[in-house]
Amino acid sequence: MPDVSGEPPSKPLSSVGVVTSLAKVPDGYYVVAQTTDGSDADLWKDGLFKSKVTRYLCFTRETGRDVVVDLKLIDVKDVLPEGFTPVEETLDTKEAATRKRRLCVKISPHAAAETAVFDIQIVAKSRYHLVNYTCIGEINNMGVWYLKGDVLQRRSSPAASDAPPSAERRTDEKSDYERQSSGSYATTALHDVPFAVSERFYQRPEQMRPVNLMGITIKSLAEIEEEFHYSFSAERSIAV
């Protein structure tokens, strides 16, 4: 049974149905077997004669692509509300789900839903009202109430996550090319990051000082200038 006294459910309803027996509830479904005061929540029973026919409301919160966004209870002769689907057959035996009244369900894709139905309760007539719940009407002298709430959407885009990595890269490259062609400035992750040579490279390590390797002496620029300096004095005297 759904909990009406504790915390509100965290998942919206994804499907609503009717079963003929408490022993034939589909896997993953909750059955509303009792009213909020503990009475039998049979939607079919006759007040004058004991009937062997029973109908119980059930629902599931199994995660799927669709959620239940609204419910309506109408007379069998009323025009079906736009966007709603009637619960006409039982889930277990495919018999008529209800009589005199029809339960109608409105389904929407989860990604497009802003609000949805999170819980359903059945209340004995004129007993008390459920806080934060809304009554959609009466069936078999019992009120059907539902709880609505906001639907939390995932922030990531399914279209983007389903695209192959190569397609994403091609899209990014095309965007960069278009920005450069249009003359706009494209920034990168290294934009405004200063580039500088580490200070450790400014000092000459000890092992880099002039050494004699295999008879080859490595000389400094000053030593080379001093040893091989030529004044060109003879050439200047001849020219004069």
| The token pair that represents 154 in the structure block | 């995932």
- The alpha carbon of residue 181 and the mean position of all alpha carbons in its chain are separated, in whole angstroms, by 36
Question: Which tens digits make up the pLDDT trace of 57-103?
Answer: 999 998 889 999 999 999 999 999 999 999 999 999 999 999 889 99
Q: How many whole angstroms separate alpha carbon 21 and alpha carbon 54?
A: 7
CATH architecture classification, 15-150: Aligned Prism (2.100)
How far CA 233 is from CA of 170, 229, 230, in Å, comes to 70, 12, 8
Instruction: Show me where the domains of the chain are located.
Output: 15-150
Of 36, 39, 40, 42, nearest in space to 3 by CA: 36
Question: How many CB atoms lie under 10 A from the CB of residue 17?
Answer: 21
User: 């490259």: which residue's tokens?
Assistant: 173
pTM: 0.61
- Residue 137's region, left for phi above 0, alpha for psi from -120 to 50, else beta, is left
Question: Which tens digits make up the pLDDT trace of 146-172?
Answer: 999 999 875 444 444 444 444 444 444
